[in-house]
Amino acid sequence: MRIIIVGAGPIGCYVGQLLKKRGIKPLLIEEHKEIGRPVHCAGVVGAEVFKEAAIDLPWKNFTKNKIDGAEIFYQKESFCLKRKSVAYVIDRELFDKKLGSGLDIVYETKFLGLEKNNSGYVIETDKGDFHANVIIGADGAMSRVRDAAGLNNGVRYFSGAQFRVSTTIKNEHFVKVHVKNPFFSWVVPE
């Protein structure tokens, strides 16, 4: 059976590693020239992920900070949610690279579309066609695979922006969340 995963981010690589553990060698198609860049996420990971992950990774090697809660700001009010070690901030670039190690990945290849046939799927890319029995769309929130498969269902998203800045934070183990309907922003201390 030939399985192709579109997207070599954390989910695509995680699924790839799970399949590899079961003796299946998937092919991953990634539009960027390397795993982990550009970084698309602040790197906040719930503590449960460290306990529940079905693959063994040296989590401590990727941890930048421990999160003990969140300060929520809404209009002129604020409150604090506290829970010791509720989450961790990880180095997403290092984490993603480790997660993808040992997988068969085709880089700088953009997914363009898919076509179902009698033997499975033809995955159309800017580097030619690939054939698979199963295709897994792990290409993010704006998934082209989902759209090509007709699974969009009218889902709407807001665009976001991420910035890394150097500053002093009063409580370095708390995420700061500012809510302003219909948007929010947050500060994640590394």
Tokens matching residue 163: 């910035």
SS3 19: helix
Q: What would the mean pLDDT of 2-13 be, rounded to a whole number?
A: 96
Query: Could you give the CA distance from residue 179 to residue 186 in angstroms, rounded to a whole number?
Result: 9
| pLDDT mean over 14-41 | 94
What digits encode the pLDDT tens for the residues 111-126?
999 999 999 999 999 9
Amino acid at 121: Y
184 pLDDT more than 80: yes
Whether residue 112 sits in one domain with residue 20: yes
Range of the domain at 112: 1-39+93-153
- Coil, strand or helix: which one is 107? coil
pLDDT tens track for 170-181: 889 999 999 988
User: How many angstroms separate the CA atoms of 106 and 123, rounded?
Assistant: 13
Give tens-digit pLDDT for 59-89: 788 899 999 999 999 989 999 999 999 999 9
51 with 133, same domain: the answer is: no
CA 106 to CA 126: how far, in whole Å?
12
Identify whether residues 65 and 82 lie together within a single domain: yes
The CATH code of the domain that includes 143 is: 3.50.50.60
Round the average pLDDT of the chain to a whole number and report it: 92
Do 54 and 148 reside in the same domain of the chain? Answer: no
